[in-house]
Amino acid sequence: MLGIDLRAARYVWTALLILLLLRAVYEIRATLIVFVIALLFAYLLYPLMDLFDRHLTAKTRTPALAMTFLLVIGLLAVLGSAIGSVVANQAGNLATEAPKFLDRLSRNPPPAPEGVRSLAGTLENQLRTHYSDIVSEIPRLSLRVLSASRNLIYIVIIPILSFFILRDGRRIRDGFVDLFDSGQEAARETLADVHTLLLQYMRALLFLCCATFISFSIVLSAMGVPYAILLAAIAFPLEFIPLVGPLAAAVIIVIVSIVTGYGHIVWLIFFLGLYRIFQDYGLSPHLMSRGVELHPLLVIFGVFAGGEIGGVAGIFLSVPALALMRLLYHRLNKIRMTRHLRPAA
């Protein structure tokens, strides 16, 4: 009557609601990241919990969950006492000996191109010039560290959230499927694909991290690299962060080796590069399913975009988020093609 196209108005209203939803998601992104990390942590524990659940006759998953958490805590305690003590000793020795290493390095710098030595001299002069400013910033930096330490509460919150996700996962899934009237079967199949993707991704990622720790511990020790176990322990968690983590681990290993006077830096860099090629083009594609494989350009874009949105946590979640979007796109396209090819009644 008023010249308003109801169909166009409905589309505009739907687009407006989607924009408002995206805005709300962006505003609560920090909380969502915590829940997503808890979900991924739950997928790390799921295979063990499922193994216990299949052999127990209890009507609920609580006994299997309790056994899973107790076993994981026990393994972490054993590994912490066996490996953690070595890592702590090496870290303490490195912190104690670092001033001596730096002094020896300044007196006897390693051979390097003239440009590199000139840059190092400039940095040293700037450090001496602004030493008082740096010292005055230390109290403020300490306050910032203390204010950021409140995030340590997530170490307790994330396992608790994972416990509830594992215990009530089926109920949450069924409640989500019930929201769909005519597409419950498609929703159930899509959630099954998402479940398989996340399960395989987290299992492969944990295996890659363990492979990095074991390989670095053995090879770096055999090569005589100082503080080999400490450097391998640093590389282990960084492997969880796509693209940026392995690069940061390699830089840390090379810098510590140079500072401590290790004499075979070229061979060390050769090993790190060779291992990266083996990891990225051999082991990782073998462990990851085809649904997780992403083009390198897409991974780089996701890493930078994730860093802009959520910092380190955003970088960590970028690859599984892109893999999920890829899976959902192919699933929706398959549903659309199926409906298109379905004969009319």
Helix (H) / strand (E) containing 83: none
Closest C-alpha among 235, 275, 242 to residue 257: 235
User: Residue 281: what pLDDT?
Assistant: 75
User: Residue 5: what pLDDT?
Assistant: 62
User: Residue 122: what pLDDT?
Assistant: 57
Tell me how far apart the alpha carbons of residues 41 and 147 are, in angstroms, rounded to a whole number: 25
Tell me how far apart the alpha carbons of residues 63 and 59 are, in angstroms, rounded to a whole number: 9
| pTM of structure | 0.72
Closest C-alpha among 99, 122, 286, 302 to residue 204: 286
pLDDT digit string, tens, across residues 271-326:
999 998 888 777 776 776 555 667 777 777 877 888 777 777 778 788 888 888 88
Contact (Cβ atoms closer than 8 angstroms) between residue 37 and residue 317: yes
Task: Indicate the length of the chain as a whole number.
Answer: 345
User: Residue 340: what pLDDT?
Assistant: 63
Contact (Cβ atoms closer than 8 angstroms) between residue 167 and residue 62: yes
pLDDT digit string, tens, across residues 181-236:
666 777 788 888 888 888 888 888 888 889 999 999 999 999 988 888 889 988 99
Place of tokens 């159930």: 188
pLDDT digit string, tens, across residues 117-163:
554 555 455 545 554 555 455 455 444 544 444 566 777 788 888 88
Tell me how far apart the alpha carbons of residues 299 and 194 are, in angstroms, rounded to a whole number: 19
User: Residue 119: what pLDDT?
Assistant: 47
Contact (Cβ atoms closer than 8 angstroms) between residue 226 and residue 256: yes
Tell me how far apart the alpha carbons of residues 122 and 116 are, in angstroms, rounded to a whole number: 10
pLDDT digit string, tens, across residues 231-286:
998 899 888 887 788 888 998 898 888 878 787 888 888 999 999 888 877 777 67
